[in-house]
Amino acid sequence: MKLRVIIIILFMIFLSQLNVEAAGVYLGSYAPDEDQSINISVPIQDIKAEIIKVYAQNNYFTSASKKINSTNLKILGRNNLFPISSRSFEAEKNNLFFNRAINFQFDLKNEYEPGLYENILYIDNGNKIDEYKLVFEIQPWKKMVKADQSTAVINNLNNRTHELYSSGQQKLIIISNTDWKLKVVLNNDYQDGISIKVAADSESRKAANFDRDFKSLNSKDVFIASGSSTTFLDSGQVEIFYQFKIDDFKKIQAGEKNYQFNFILE
């Protein structure tokens, strides 16, 4: 009789240690190049209790190496917003759920780094705890803006060297949450010894690498700068200034020429 009691107790302990896998809920895939809020509706199991308790496993959604604060995901109630965190809150079922669905407000920020993020949401109705594994993806993104719409004019002459320079005030803005490369493409076949040099301020140089010398544009594609995510910078962006040069104006036929360049961000 004593042996039978011991076996039953051990069996009960074993059962209590089993974990039922949380239901997977995919919240979507996003490339937020600007801050925005979106609403997401997720079906849930039927809940009988009128008062429920909600909390998350962690205070962060985590990827392999990064994390995002869990409070950026909020339950959109009838009268309130309820930020998700490991600290539980209680609320009436009818204030949280609509037609057996839970509605979220997801605050997307362009500072989020690429990765697959997850956290577990617990809904405790007193008799049982439902688990939902919330998963979303942040995609890598990058964009470039030509901040100065004026045309670069190569007309500043160095009489000693016979070189012609543009003003050097043209500017590109790069915003990215991942690594990037910037190249320039010459769209015509002029062989006029034209070259380009880029520069950046001290803040931008934290996320950008480039040669400080002029680079010849005799080839079609020339990489002129590279860098990493700009989201950690105070400004959130890299500013690239560029200047053109022609080696010897005496070798060029007199008259106006239209050099066509494309800047491409990869």
Specify whether the CB–CB gap between 91 and 83 falls below 8 A. no
pLDDT digits (tens, 9 = 90+) for 54-92: 999 999 999 999 999 999 999 998 888 999 999 999 988
The pLDDT of residue 191 is: 61
> Would you say residue 2 has pLDDT above 50?
no
When pLDDT is averaged across residues 98-107 and rounded to a whole number, the result is 89
DSSP secondary structure code for residue 250 in this structure: G
- List of E strands, 31-83: 36-43, 51-56, 60-62, 67-69, 73-76, 81-83
- Percent with pLDDT over 90 in the chain: 51
- Nearest-angstrom CA–CA distance, 196 and 237: 22
The pLDDT of residue 253 is: 62
> Would you say residue 10 has pLDDT above 50?
no
When pLDDT is averaged across residues 26-35 and rounded to a whole number, the result is 94
pLDDT, greater one: 86 or 161:
86
> Would you say residue 225 has pLDDT above 70?
yes
Give bridge partners of residue 76 from the DSSP assignment. 81
Give bridge partners of residue 117 from the DSSP assignment. 136
> Would you say residue 1 has pLDDT above 80?
no
- Nearest-angstrom CA–CA distance, 233 and 179: 14
Give the three-state DSSP class for 16: helix
Lowest mean pLDDT among 42-46, 57-61, 107-111, 130-134: 42-46
Please, which pLDDT band fits residue 151 given cuts at 50, 70 and 90? low
When pLDDT is averaged across residues 256-264 and rounded to a whole number, the result is 76
Q: How far is CA 245 from the centre of its chain?
A: 36
Task: Read off the pTM.
Answer: 0.79
> Would you say residue 257 has pLDDT above 80?
no
- Nearest-angstrom CA–CA distance, 40 and 136: 12
Alpha carbon of 163 to those of 20, 151, 222, 245, 261: distances in Å? 74, 19, 21, 7, 20
Specify whether the CB–CB gap between 177 and 229 falls below 8 A. yes
pLDDT, greater one: 140 or 5:
140
- Nearest-angstrom CA–CA distance, 26 and 123: 17
The pLDDT of residue 111 is: 93
The pLDDT of residue 199 is: 93
When pLDDT is averaged across residues 153-171 and rounded to a whole number, the result is 72
Six-digit token string for 15:
């059962």
The pLDDT of residue 55 is: 96
- Nearest-angstrom CA–CA distance, 87 and 179: 36
Which domains does the chain show, CATH number per domain?
Answer: 22-138 (2.60.40.2040), 142-265 (2.60.120)
The pLDDT of residue 23 is: 78
Specify whether the CB–CB gap between 88 and 53 falls below 8 A. yes
> Would you say residue 19 has pLDDT above 80?
no
